[in-house]
Amino acid sequence: MAGASTPEPAVAVGDDPRRYAMLLSEVYDATMAGGRSPAKPRPVIAESWNRLLDSGIDPEHHDPPDIDRSGLDLLRQSSGLLTVLEDITRGLESVIADGSNILVVADARGRVLWRSGTPRVLGNADRLGFVEGADWGESAVGTNAIGTALVSRRAVQIFSAEHFLRSHHAWTCAGAPIQDPRTGHVIGAVDVSGPASTVHPTTIALVDLVARLAESQLREAHTRTLDRLRAVAAPMLARLGSPALAVDPEGWVAAVDSMPPHNRIMLPQKAGPGRTWIPALGACELEPLSGGWLVRPVRSEDGTAASDLTVDLRHQPALELSGPSGSWRQDISPRHAEILLVLATHRGGRTAPELAADLYGDRSRVVTVRAEMSRLRKQLVGIIEAQPYRFAEGIGVRVRRPADPAALLPSSTAPAIHAARGQVAT
């Protein structure tokens, strides 16, 4: 587990960084030439170098990292790191305050999502391709604190010639992975980089501490999510009077009734409404909840009942879902109301470019659409599928419109809503 052991600094307290950098340079030259080295690199460095030498990457001549900014907004939204970005920045502001270091947050693949620092240090980073949208995974740019932390799943500090690419030897960096407490998967890394002369033994400990604090914030946010799900599910479980539980999209249990307690159940990879098999429970019915699933173990002879979704646009936009176990209702944003109305009108589904035209009159705004659909699908688990975006099988959909067509989402300027105002109210 990331952060389970004390992170090892590249340069120990009391060591002379310049003398150590000279030794590392000799170790690097000998290792890359296949000769006899005056010392052994640290184990985490040796393991990384071996991986990269086996892959055939040339440490002397390597292309700049791949940079793709086209989907950067969507990557940021889907990374799971947006909610802790402010905490990370606040926790490390003292390290970048003197203008020597750059703070970087990357996703699980090593793609740089955010960076901050003074214009001078950002300009130095630009020359290495250390920019937002760049792939800084180990296989892309060699041994570095982001990529190597993601591979090793531990906090690492890389100093001078410990970098696999010679072009990076003027730098030092300290990075730590961040895990999603719901799944245990590494979702990104935080990194502090700067000139090699700025190396300090305490930097790696601080970076690792900030990463662990970010995980703590994610854990608290997950607890709040389960609390909201529990509030929706509790009345339904009370009415049922039969075994059932409410879980979030990853299977974490928010509430349970008439069943042995569970912390988590393993849901199918592509869970959807209706009958499914869950290893710990057997045959079950899944019903969508706001932010999760209602799970009911069933006998094999029990029938399968459908769920009905009502999109109510008569006043404050809201949706209500009714299933065999009861119903729940919640308000929705005007933008989500627009999307749901479009999908209800086009039951065969809409692609991202089609939705962009429906909502903005511009088919090129697919990044904005995908980010919005990502948020909506997280809120309405199992109700909306992708490729194309559409309502899931087994969901009956009804739209309640105002009697006056002009009152249909009156603040909306979306082309699809203008067209819908000319249709008959239901």
**Which tokens belong to 354?**
């089609």
User: ω before 59 within 30° of 0 (cis)?
Assistant: no
User: Looking at the domain assignment, is residue 242 inside a domain?
Assistant: no
Residue 29 belongs to a domain: yes
Q: Which domain holds residue 113?
A: 17-220
Of the candidates 147, 148, 174, the one whose C-alpha atom is nearest the C-alpha of residue 10 is 174
The total of structural domains in the chain comes to 2
Is residue 50 located within the same domain as residue 199? yes
Same domain, 58 and 200: yes
- Cβ atoms 342, 358 nearer than 8 A: yes
The pLDDT value given to residue 43: 94
pLDDT at 148: 97
Last residue of a domain, one of 201, 220, 239: 220
> For the domain that residue 91 is a member of, what is the CATH number?
3.30.450.40
Whether residue 213 is found in the same domain as residue 315: no
Domain boundary among 220, 242, 265: 220
Asked whether residue 129 is domain-assigned, the answer is yes
Angle formed at CA 199 by CA 193 and CA 205, multiple of 5 degrees: 80
Q: Does residue 31 sit in the same domain as residue 155?
A: yes
226-272 pLDDT, tens per residue? 999 999 999 989 888 889 999 999 899 999 998 888 899 988 887 88
Same domain, 214 and 345: no
Q: Which residues of the chain have pLDDT under 50?
A: 1-3, 301, 425-426
Look up residue 7 and give its DSSP letter. P
HEC per residue, 112-159:
EEEEECCHHHHHHHHHCCCCCCEECCHHHHCCCHHHHHHHHCCCEEEE
pLDDT at 426: 44
Cβ–Cβ < 8 Å for 122, 96:
no
pLDDT of residue 165: 95
State the burial class of residue 269 (Cβ atoms within 10 Å of its Cβ: 0-12, 13-18, 19+): exposed
Give residue-wise pLDDT tens across range 38-96: 999 999 999 999 999 988 888 987 677 778 888 898 899 889 999 999 999 999 999 98
Does residue 204 lie in a domain region? yes
375: Cβ–Cβ under 8 A, 6 or more apart, which residues? 77
> What SS3 state is found at 396?
strand
Task: Tell whether pTM > 0.85.
Answer: no
CA separation for the pair 83, 206 (Å, rounded):
20
Q: Which of 220, 238, 256 is the last residue of a domain?
A: 220
Torsions phi, psi for 220 (to 5 deg): -65, -40
The DSSP symbol for 406 reads G
Residues 84 and 203 in one domain: yes
| 138 assigned to some structural domain | yes
**Interacting residues of 331 by C-beta distance below 8 A, sequence separation 6+:** 316, 317, 318
Residue count of the chain: 426
Structure tokens belonging to residue 59: 């440490």
Question: What's the pLDDT at 425?
Answer: 46
Residue bearing tokens 């509430």:
255
Q: Residues 6 or more apart from 128 whose CB is under 8 A from it? A: 64, 167, 168, 171
pLDDT of residue 305: 54
